[in-house]
Amino acid sequence: MTHGHELLEMLQEKAYTVDGFLKAVKERFGEDERFFTCHSEGLTAEEILDFFLYKGKVVLNNGVLSFDHSCQHHPEGGCCHEQNEVR
């Protein structure tokens, strides 16, 4: 299982369409890989993307996904999952 921060790091490096991102994730981690966060585990690529969109970690603008740089995700292992509670 792979931590979701690895997917956020992919979005920090490059903007993707939804389909392009899911394809890149599956190519990098494998079709059957599952992901986890501080709150959930066993998520598919589609489910973790939905989670990131819901939590505001990733934004979708004009069909393009990008990392929300105001998010306080820390690559060194810190966690920002408490920042945006249920809206």
* Helices marked H in the chain: 5-13, 18-29, 45-55
The DSSP secondary-structure symbol of 1 reads -
What are the residue boundaries of the structural domains of the chain, listed by start? 2-67
- pLDDT (average), residues 66-83: 54
Higher pLDDT among residues 76 and 64, named by residue = 64
pLDDT, tens digit, 9 for 90 and up, residues 15-60? 899 999 999 999 999 999 999 998 899 999 999 999 999 999 999 9
Which of 47, 37, 27 is closest to 4 using CA atoms? Answer: 37
- pLDDT (average), residues 52-69: 90
Predicted TM-score (pTM) of the model is 0.77
Look at residue 69 in the predicted model and tell me its pLDDT.
Answer: 64
